[in-house]
Structure 1
Amino acid sequence: MTAGPIEFFFDFSSPYGYLAAHRIEEVGEAFGRKVLWRPILLGAVFKATGQTPLVSQPLRGPYHKHDLLRTARRLKLPFCFPADFPMATIAAARAFYALEAQAPQDAKKLALALFDAAFAQGINISTRESVLDVAEKAGLDPAAVAAGIEDGGVKQRLKDETDGAIARNIFGSPFFVVDGEMFWGNDRIPDLKDWLATGGW
């Protein structure tokens, strides 16, 4: 029987999502699991749960800013906060789903480029124009991405993915689901790997 995929839920505004995006494909390859990238909108998730962005919370915010820099150093990934953080990511998520329908690998390529633009280069990717600029620099067709961002089916897809994630009790980014087991956070990737290696506990 074919092993099920690793579902990777994230928001492009999530700095921990950025870190995880650079790690999760390696996990999938190591265990022969396909990775399904699933951008969602944390704004809708926060509305459902009453949460706020980690970095804006009293006491927790300064710690997480320190932890992000520390973790990025350990992973040898460049890190900075984009301008006007936190930022809207509707255009970025729609662009992903527009590409995924035709070329899943191009969608992942765009996702990494968007994450890198935001958290390695400090670029605000909230606008349609900034998303198209990142797509073009990544070697993708900006006209196709632009059309997808405005496509009604793509808009509905993003809404459905976000609503579906909330219905499954997915409340943060990054969030991983494999074989029905849920892991929240970049720091749970070692647990995810152990679960895959042992079959669970």
Structure 2
Amino acid sequence: MSRRPRFYFSFRSPYSWLAYHDLRTEHPQVLRELEWRPFWEPDVQSERMLTELGGRFIYAPMSKEKHLYLLRDVRRLAQRRGLTITWPLDDAPWWEVAHLAYFAAVDAGQGPAFVERVYRARWQEGRNISDPDTIAELAESVGVPGDAARSAVDRTEMRERGAQALLAIDRDGVFGVPFFIDRSQRFWGIDRLNDFLASLGGNTTSGAALLTDASPASATHDRRTADHGHAGGCG
């Protein structure tokens, strides 16, 4: 099992986008040192492959009430960060398209750039990241071969890589995002980001600086939540 601190992210989750934004703007060195792992709700093929590996996908459907809360909460958190959110319309979401393309971006040495571009496209431009052509365009804009990104969802080796990623999600007990792991410590939701940063201590080269950061996430971001089962995270 990896000993590096891990950051489970998802293009689907607005809280994951906001956590990524906070890490990129306030703690870029930490973000570079984390092991990034994608999280997504699998389609039928991916779930079958995961089951064959002995894994399962931990998922609890969101209630209507929680969804309505999320819409208001995310807009409030985005405005606090000076961000304007454009809600995407997910008529037929196919999360493999973007998340398997992430592996193509990693292979091209452009994983972080791809993540930033896809997050921006989805949450600030309202674009459909379940469209292979859209993903190819976004990939090309950051130096990833468009064909490699577009075809990732159809390639056996990428599907197998995705199944292994889903198995890691199961083994790490990840039930929603953003999800952070530091050794035996687990933190779910953007409201726990500062606790995760504090837990790092000397576990990364920049860990000691986190404890004396003049502008930690908790100083500017309200960590309270109206739902005790909702720590600023979603599946």
Amino acid at match of 2:20: A
Of 68, 76, 87 in structure 2, the residue corresponding to residue 81 of structure 1 is 87
Shift of 1:59: 1.9
For residues 136 and 87 of structure 1, what CA distance do their matches in structure 2 show? 22
Q: Calculate the TM-score normalised by the size of structure 2.
A: 0.71
For residues 124 and 150 of structure 1, what CA distance do their matches in structure 2 show? 18
* Per-residue CA distance 1:44-75 (angstroms, 9 max, x = gap): 69x844511x4xx2322211111100111112
For residues 98 and 32 of structure 2, what CA distance do their matches in structure 1 show? 25
Is the contact between residue 40 and residue 158 of structure 1 (CA under 8 Å) also seen in structure 2?
Answer: no
Amino acid at match of 2:113: K
Provide the residue aligned with 1:185 in structure 2.
189
Provide the residue aligned with 1:13 in structure 2.
12
For residues 122 and 16 of structure 2, what CA distance do their matches in structure 1 show? 11
Q: Calculate the TM-score normalised by the size of structure 1.
A: 0.82
Cα RMSD between the aligned structures? 2.6
Structure 1 runs of 4+ aligned residues shifted over 6 Å read none
Q: How does 1:35-46 map to 2 (within 5 A)?
A: 35-43=34-42
Flag the 1:146–1:60 CA change in 2: closer, same or farther, 3 A.
closer
Provide the residue aligned with 1:128 in structure 2.
132
Q: Does 1:64 align with 2:73?
A: no
For residues 48 and 158 of structure 1, what CA distance do their matches in structure 2 show? 13
Q: Does 1:157 align with 2:161?
A: yes
Q: Does 1:91 align with 2:100?
A: no
Amino acid at match of 1:13: R
* Per-residue CA distance 1:87-143 (angstroms, 9 max, x = gap): 32101111111221341xx01111111111010111111121111121123343213
Provide the residue aligned with 2:216 in structure 1.
none
Look up the SS of the partner of 1:42 in the other structure: coil
Q: Which has the higher helix share?
A: 1
Look up the SS of the partner of 1:125 in the other structure: coil
Is the contact between residue 105 and residue 144 of structure 2 (CA under 8 Å) also seen in structure 1?
Answer: no
Compare CA radii of gyration and give the structure with the larger one: 2
Unpaired runs of 5+ residues, structure 2, are 51-55, 204-235
**% identical equivalent positions:** 25
* Per-residue CA distance 1:14-35 (angstroms, 9 max, x = gap): 11111112223443615x9712
For residues 5 and 179 of structure 1, what CA distance do their matches in structure 2 show? 8
Is the contact between residue 105 and residue 149 of structure 2 (CA under 8 Å) also seen in structure 1?
Answer: yes
Shift of 1:85: 6.0
Q: Does 1:108 align with 2:144?
A: no
* Per-residue CA distance 1:117-171 (angstroms, 9 max, x = gap): 0101111111211111211233432133234443322211111111221122111
